Amino acid sequence: MSSIPYKRTSWFMLVVSFLGFLDATYLAVKYYLGEGLTCGFFKGCEEVTTSVYSEIMGVPVSLLGSIYYISVFFFVAYYLDSGKRSSLVLASYATITGFTMTLYFLYIQAFVLQAFCVYCLASALTSTLLFIAGAGVLWRSKRMREG
């Protein structure tokens, strides 16, 4: 088979999930290895990344995000390599979870903390793009099965 369906979408998801991985990993590494607390000139980032909402059961959210993005990345990469549709579908369902978390964190930043962190907003963007792509895959796949 020389061509698989959803090829463009898959490459798009591969690139975007990698960008999300870069962003989340940077925050996660900074959390574990970066220097201790400071008040820099960018108030938002510190406030958000040191808030109580930046951890879930002691695990920094950035690490969870990093794991999420790299998982999506690998599922999509596996699809591109093997053509197994189930892998792409799984990745697409995962983007729903990612998007839901994005909405939650946007809500926290906007209404609870009233502070925004630019890295978190970047992740919101990649997560949303992945969701749009994933939803597109699920929608088209459903139509193909019915049609």
36 binds another protein (CB under 8 A): yes
Q: Residue 36 or 147: which CB sits closer to another protein? A: 36
132 binds another protein (CB under 8 A): no
Q: Which residues, in sequence order, are bridge partners of residue 56? A: 59
35 binds another protein (CB under 8 A): yes
Q: What is the DSSP string of 41-91?
A: S-HHHHHHHTSGGGEETTEEHHHHHHHHHHHHHHHHHHHHHH--HHHHHHH
Per-residue tokens: 69: 């993005």
User: Would you say 47 and 58 are in contact if contact means Cβ atoms under 8 Å apart?
Assistant: no
86 binds another protein (CB under 8 A): no
Q: Residue 115 or 135: which CB sits closer to another protein? A: 115
37 binds another protein (CB under 8 A): yes
Q: Which stretch binds another protein (CB under 8 A): 76-84, 98-106, 107-115, 121-129?
A: 76-84
